[in-house]
Structure 1
Amino acid sequence: MTLISFVVPAYRVQGYLRECLDSILGQPETDIEVIGVDDCSPDDSGDILAEYAARDPRVEVIRLPENVGLGPARNVGLDRATGRYVWFVDADDWLVPDCLTAVADRLRATRPDVLVVDHVRAWWNDTTTRSGMREVFAEPVGPETFRLRERPAAARLLHTAWNRLLRRQFLLDNGLRFFPGWYEDVSFSYPALLAAERIGVLDLVCVNYRQRRTGAITRTRGDRHFEVFDQWHRVFRLMDEWGPAVDELRPVVFERMIWHYLTVLVNSERIAPELRPRFFARISEDYRRWLPPGGYPVPAGAEGLKHRLVATGRWRTFRALRTAYLARDAAGRRVRRVRRRVTPAARRTARRGRDVVLREYYRAELRRPVDPALAVYAAYWYRGYACNPAAIYEAARRLAPQIRGVWIVRRDRVGTLPEGVEYVVAGTPAAHRALARARWLVNNVNFPDHVRKRPGTVHVQTHHGTPIKVMGLDQQRYPVGAAGVDFAALLRRVDRWDYSITSNSFSTQMWERAYPAEYTTLEVGYPRNDRLVTAGTEEVLRIRAELGLGIGEQVVLYAPTHREHLPGYRPPFDPDRLLDALGPTGRLLIRSHYFHDRDRRALRQVDRERVHDVSGHPRVEDLYLAADVLVTDYSSAMFDYAVLDRPIVVYAPDLQAYRLARGVYFDVTAEPPGAVARTPAELVDLFRSGAVRGAEAERARRAFRDRFCRLDDGHAAERVVRRVFLEDV
């Protein structure tokens, strides 16, 4: 029999589910099964579960025809489980590496009915908070098991289902199942502790309990939080049924109930102000109804005062006390903000007269009306006319000519703009005026921190690639790659977004995790790739001629990504040897990452007629169309180039170092878009042998295109314009 059955319900967790499953399946203990329950999720959670099931026989997927909620979905998984123990893991949490060895050893050695494991709260800003286990048990519990009446303090451990493993036969014998509704853990976890003859505690952090910035019920206001009362009523009605066997535990369970009610009440992200008096009245009602005859241990201090106010139904006094606490906390935050603001660096910035004048001008323009026909575009920190914003701009000129589009560009890039494109120079009063008054702001990166989100304006984040390397908040785990990033400021910028444009389901999943906010995702394909779909032979020949490339020449484009840990990165291969492998008709185009556009260093002496540095070319789409083969590493270029269905080579000589320094979302050498080389010799041999176009490379490219390029049909920009500018839902 399998030792552990993991039950993982999935609903709207596509951005987190892969990390959860990887953390389970990558454990050294392999005597497990994973029951993934797709709770009729409207996103791609079900497809992710199916993907894992297709490649790992330990994973089984159940797809529900309608959404039933977390509790009933767990029951479905429990009914399918075959393991001796069941672990209900939430799909947005993840296990600590290697923790399962200690868990399995403890299960085999002590055979508990319930084994509670420790956890940390993993916050979106990459900080963690230890659980209260050390406060509940000042001394390590050890391997011995106990009943709750022997150690009633165990009831104070967090009452969730995901921080404990339960013997499956124990659950079946006692008829323990989840009830529908929010706070479903309450009416499952407490009865399990009350019924268990053998409770174990493993003082080892095993679960990262994700504290989501958005999307969690604990950060969602509404009257569904009143369902917590029904769940606690089920606990006490069950205790009534069990009678004297659990009477001595009523005081500790009652204290936990009042604590939980108050935790929900005082959280402003759950209970709206107009609902608080009614919620408080329900707490007082339950206090009187379920108060144990002999009383209960009332907490000390301010917490105990809250309990006494509940007991007497004094809502106004409770509200006044809460207001006083909030005012005190707010005053403390203001003091800390002032201290942070008045720093030497801030004072130096304030002395920069020109910046101060421009910011004041911008603030003055914010008081003027929003221009209902103005759209402002930018790309790559004002580097020019490019990428998704350029494609959207062109579609808007055709489909919504009433909208005036203006580009913000650096002064040194003005000469790269196409004829007829209206622009303002970055850092000028005209640029600040456009930013202040535009109704639409479209960018493939973020606008500067000082830009405000005005009511009635629409910010469109188009992004500029499908992510291989980790991005956004996920970078916090990779300090080398994230050096100098202010993540709090990043989130303030993300909060301005109204729309996030994604090219495929995978991008949607990663962006929603890396940039958690309340924007709307438009999974429509990348507008910049429309041209790759629609370009004909004539356009390709024209571009090749402009680049000095002949019709019969074999053109290879090398486009690596940026490496934060390797400043001044240079191509790790010998261009001459590659050209020898290509033969006399071979040509090599080398394009550095756009981060290096002001750090041009000449390539070492090579055959200048056959090697071209195209880093300064304004439109990368031209280079894609001109090239017969793409060689890249961990760059999003491969996803765009795959639209053309031409050969791609992944050249990854430093994958391990890059993975450790920057982090990757998936291994492109394991799921490549074509042939793979890890050394300069392998790269040359791929071209010399013809493996670049071999059957294996073709199969890999087909699978890659099927996964990532389905939406690239030539109409992505049109879909964006109709939704964003014309409000065609």
Structure 2
Amino acid sequence: MPRFSVIVPAHQVQAYLHECLDSVLGQCFGDLELIAVDDRSPDSSGEILDAYAAADPRVTVIHLAENIGLGPARNTGTARARGDYVLYLDSDDTMAPGTLRALAERLSETSDPDILLFDFAPAYWDGSLGPPAHPELLTPGAGPGVCTLDERPELLRLTAVAWNKAYRRAFLLRERLAFPPGTYEDTPWTFPALLTARTLGTLDRVCVHYRQRRGGSILTTTGRRHFDVFDQYDRLFAFLAARPGLDRWHQALHQRMTDHFATIHSTPGRLPGSARAEFLHRARAHCRRHRPASAAGRAAVPPGRRLRRMLVRHGAHHAFRLLAHAGRARRLLGARLRRARRVLRKALLRGHYLLQRHRPLDRDLAVFSAYWDRGYSCHPAAIEAKARELVPDIRTAWICPPDHAHTLPPGVRRLQPGSAAYWTALARARFLVSNVNLPHSYRKRPGQLLLQTHHGTPLKHMGLDLMAYPAAADGMDFGRLLEHTDRWDYSLSGNPHSTLVWERAYPSPYTTLEFGQPRNDVLQTATAADVARLRAALGIPDRVTAVLYAPTHRDHRPGRQPWLDLARLVATLGPSFVLLARAHYFHAGQGLPCEPPGGLLDVSDHPSVEELFLASDVLVTDYSSLMFDYANLDRPLVVHAPDWETYRETRGTYFDVTAAAPGPVARSEDELIDILATGAHTTEHARALRAAFRQRFCPWDDGHAAERVVRHVFLGTATGTATGTGPGLGTAAGSAAPPGATVPAAVPPLVPLAERHPAPAPGSGGGPGPGAAPLTPLAPPAAKDWWSCPASASSYRCSRSRATCASVSTRCSASPAPTWR
């Protein structure tokens, strides 16, 4: 008996069905059955379902002889269900990652209530998600986590759909609940379920992504089928009449019905124009027919809603139309007023900026920003910290919104993007430092110094080199790009490769500073105590290998792409490993593709990737520039390149990273597991690959890059040269020390690569050594091969082939070695 039965009816959804089914079967909680009902679909939906059933024994397909509609199709699936809990999912929607695990944990916490209610969010055609639908009702502070409807009557305000709840199957059988035929079938299902449930649980989590189709769905199709809503409410009130003990809910449901009629009547695209008056007359008759005997329990409502209800109850079609037109006019006027305010504010700020440009430059002010104002990080952060250390009279300001204010160190002023103070700073600051371009409306003044730090060594094509790759360029204005690069005074380079790329991709008359990458200074200066402290703060156990997984963004594919089954990776590697998963900053806030099980830490929101470097034993990435930074630590790296050819063709790359990799290359998830499990990333061959990579891409990252930048740009001392020769002695043209600045002693000469001592690796090493726990591969319940490990006296189901697992077991440290049975 599975924990969950997921019912998915399908009719003319072939374009969305794969995504729906994958979202269920790809859950990191696998104790489920999926019952798909082919409602005599005329397209290829039935064949798609059969293919999934052939590939996964958790899938059961029911082919109906005739089209019976959504409600009866759900009933057919429910009759075949065997799970403890039943969930319904429409076949054009998707289940959010980690949903089933979160539901299972919440059900256990709440002692298996009859119904567990959860949230959903709209999913739009461009891949974006809207806000949760009902956070105010489901948040833990809104009421008790387990309750009855009498204790929390406001739960009746949740959207009346079947798929935002998990139902205990025994409860459905006890109450004999069933969906009716017709449209709006969720109405006489949802309310009886809530009224008869003895216990209700809530989960403050988006579990379903509700697809907003541009056309073709029931609710966006104009027709008379919307008149079915009257039959559905007749069924609902007949249910109430048959259960006198529930009569106290009559008033509340009558108000819900009236609001529902008003929504259908006023929503464009549902009712034919000729049928609107008829619909409202039917609504008036229904309001009178099901009028409660008394007004007891009537809740206070806003005046606008009270007026709408009154017009529905009186069937006032023309007055309702006038009200709708007035509402649309009010919204249109409000939108125009807001737009006018934005235009006026922009004009005032523009005038303010032009006035500020006529004031003298503030020679002690330096303005910093990083990653499109995402907070204190990267090379600008390292330079800012060093500037406050070496130039005590400097005043620094950082551009970021309030939600990133916590990343700023004490003493650094925050500038709100787009504010008057922001434009004042851009107009008057002597120094400006960023790893991206400043806004187009900024105009650099004579005497200002603009340093472009970039944000990594380029593997993928950048700047003008993207002209041949339209998918990656995504409508980039290359003329505007050159206008921005013409403002640069300095371009910071971390290695000779970067110098050549930046000067070709951004051909402007700036000076290249070959000083290294300031954000990597800490990788050379951190101590063993720092490493231990960071691991403890992250909760990484002692003698455990910490794998940092940091994939990059794919320009040719919208949304985040979870290239690895993180739950499987953690389970297969076993307790000797912990996985630190970090999403690309383009996908910040989207969470992991699964709810983190034990051994998996979501570090996407950690403010410092350098601290994650120090805390980890090995980096796994695909094509991210983080590999160039991590190589400075001389710790193992693994390149996971499942789509290298596609990525190279769509984005363009400067060299073949699979041929000149800093370590082993895995083309698949199984290869990656094998590399990590067998320690192939720690061999002499892997070290040789890493040494060659460091020699090529880490020549100047000796721990003094930020100091070289500050002395050259801020103090104007002889610390570096222009392109071609690397850090050494030279003269900084055009920069002068601020008045009163203290000029420090000369920077020590560049430390040769062979003489550097990067932060020591954690004590656990790069993989499981002698005496470590034997690998215990775990895999989906569908797998049939088993192997026995005498060291743990247990058997483990394994999803990998017998040959692969046998090869791994021969390298296991257990004695005797694991054997097949």
TM-score w.r.t. the length of structure 1 is: 0.51
Tell me what 1:418 maps to: 409
Match of 2:344 among 353, 367, 390: 353
Distance between the aligned counterparts of 2:440 and 2:620, measured in 1? 36
Tell me what 2:424 maps to: 433
Match of 1:623 among 589, 592, 612: 612
- 1:666 Cα shift? 0.8
Match of 2:545 among 521, 537, 554: 554
Match of 2:441 among 450, 453, 466: 450
- 1:349 Cα shift? 9.8
Q: Retained in 1: the 8 A contact 2:566–2:594?
A: no
Match of 2:462 among 451, 465, 471: 471
Q: Deviations over 1:142-161 (max 9, x none)?
A: xxxxxxxxxxxxxxxxxxxx
- 1:405 Cα shift? 1.1
Tell me what 1:404 maps to: 395
- 1:560 Cα shift? 1.0
Q: Retained in 2: the 8 A contact 1:674–1:700?
A: yes
**Within 5 A, what are the aligned runs for 1:485-496?**
485-496=476-487
1:639 aligns with 2:628: yes
Distance between the aligned counterparts of 1:419 and 1:550, measured in 2? 31
Tell me what 1:500 maps to: 491
Q: Retained in 1: the 8 A contact 2:560–2:587?
A: no
Distance between the aligned counterparts of 1:392 and 1:495, measured in 2? 22
**Structure 2 letter corresponding to 1:355:** K
Tell me what 2:165 maps to: none
Q: Retained in 2: the 8 A contact 1:577–1:684?
A: no
Q: Retained in 1: the 8 A contact 2:596–2:602?
A: no
**Structure 2 letter corresponding to 1:399:** L
**Structure 1 letter corresponding to 2:593:** L
Match of 1:380 among 361, 371, 396: 371
Query: Which one is further off, 517-526 or 552-561?
Result: 552-561
**Structure 2 letter corresponding to 1:454:** R
Distance between the aligned counterparts of 2:567 and 2:428, measured in 1? 53
Q: Deviations over 1:490-536 (max 9, x none)?
A: 11110000000010000000000000000000011000000011000
- 1:399 Cα shift? 1.1
**Structure 2 letter corresponding to 1:564:** D
1:691 aligns with 2:680: yes
Q: Deviations over 1:415-434 (max 9, x none)?
A: 22223322221121111111
Match of 1:522 among 509, 513, 520: 513
Tell me what 1:339 maps to: none
1:603 aligns with 2:593: yes
Distance between the aligned counterparts of 1:723 and 1:577, measured in 2? 50
Distance between the aligned counterparts of 1:501 and 1:406, measured in 2? 20
Q: Retained in 2: the 8 A contact 1:554–1:582?
A: no
Q: Retained in 2: the 8 A contact 1:581–1:685?
A: no
- 1:543 Cα shift? 1.0
- 1:705 Cα shift? 0.5
Tell me what 2:713 maps to: 724
Distance between the aligned counterparts of 1:712 and 1:551, measured in 2? 29
**Equivalent pairs, count:** 382
Distance between the aligned counterparts of 1:566 and 1:419, measured in 2? 40
Change (3 A) 1:350 1:482: farther
**Within 5 A, what are the aligned runs for 1:642-661?**
642-661=631-650
Distance between the aligned counterparts of 2:584 and 2:441, measured in 1? 27
**Within 5 A, what are the aligned runs for 1:85-234?**
none
Unaligned segments of structure 1, at least 5 residues: 1-347
Q: Retained in 1: the 8 A contact 2:549–2:620?
A: yes
1:676 aligns with 2:665: yes
Tell me what 2:357 maps to: 366
Distance between the aligned counterparts of 2:407 and 2:708, measured in 1? 27
- 1:569 Cα shift? 2.3
Tell me what 2:583 maps to: 592
TM-score w.r.t. the length of structure 2 is: 0.45
| 1:423 counterpart SS class | strand
Tell me what 1:483 maps to: 474
**In angstroms, what is the RMSD of aligned CA positions?**
1.8
Tell me what 2:602 maps to: 613
1:536 aligns with 2:527: yes
- 1:570 Cα shift? 2.6
**Structure 2 letter corresponding to 1:391:** A
Tell me what 2:262 maps to: none
Q: Retained in 2: the 8 A contact 1:350–1:356?
A: no
- 1:573 Cα shift? 1.8
Match of 1:712 among 690, 701, 714: 701
| 1:481 counterpart SS class | helix
Distance between the aligned counterparts of 1:474 and 1:652, measured in 2? 22
Q: Retained in 2: the 8 A contact 1:631–1:649?
A: yes
Q: Which has the larger radius of gyration?
A: 2
Q: Deviations over 1:33-60 (max 9, x none)?
A: xxxxxxxxxxxxxxxxxxxxxxxxxxxx
Query: Which one is further off, 560-569 or 380-389?
Result: 560-569
Q: Retained in 2: the 8 A contact 1:562–1:593?
A: yes
| 1:426 counterpart SS class | coil
| 1:407 counterpart SS class | strand
**Structure 1 letter corresponding to 2:401:** R
Match of 2:568 among 571, 577, 581: 577
Identity of aligned residues (%): 55
Q: Retained in 1: the 8 A contact 2:578–2:600?
A: yes
| 2:472 counterpart SS class | coil
Distance between the aligned counterparts of 1:551 and 1:644, measured in 2? 20
Tell me what 2:14 maps to: none
Distance between the aligned counterparts of 1:356 and 1:674, measured in 2? 54
**Structure 2 letter corresponding to 1:394:** A
Q: Deviations over 1:101-135 (max 9, x none)?
A: xxxxxxxxxxxxxxxxxxxxxxxxxxxxxxxxxxx
| 1:448 counterpart SS class | coil
Distance between the aligned counterparts of 1:350 and 1:650, measured in 2? 51
Distance between the aligned counterparts of 2:340 and 2:530, measured in 1? 49
Q: Retained in 1: the 8 A contact 2:459–2:655?
A: yes
Q: Retained in 2: the 8 A contact 1:581–1:687?
A: no
Tell me what 1:282 maps to: none
- 1:394 Cα shift? 1.0
- 1:625 Cα shift? 0.6
Distance between the aligned counterparts of 1:349 and 1:538, measured in 2? 57
Tell me what 2:94 maps to: none
Q: Deviations over 1:199-221 (max 9, x none)?
A: xxxxxxxxxxxxxxxxxxxxxxx
Change (3 A) 1:351 1:569: closer
Q: Deviations over 1:451-508 (max 9, x none)?
A: 1110001000001100000000001110000012111111111000000001000000
- 1:602 Cα shift? 4.2
Q: Deviations over 1:587-619 (max 9, x none)?
A: 11111111122x514432451x31111111111
Q: Deviations over 1:311-358 (max 9, x none)?
A: xxxxxxxxxxxxxxxxxxxxxxxxxxxxxxxxxxxxx89962222222
Distance between the aligned counterparts of 2:592 and 2:530, measured in 1? 30
| 1:352 counterpart SS class | helix
| 1:418 counterpart SS class | coil
Tell me what 1:128 maps to: none
**Structure 2 letter corresponding to 1:458:** L
| 1:468 counterpart SS class | coil
| 1:589 counterpart SS class | strand
1:664 aligns with 2:653: yes
| 1:488 counterpart SS class | helix
| 1:712 counterpart SS class | coil
Change (3 A) 1:593 1:708: same
Distance between the aligned counterparts of 2:550 and 2:622, measured in 1? 8
| 1:718 counterpart SS class | helix
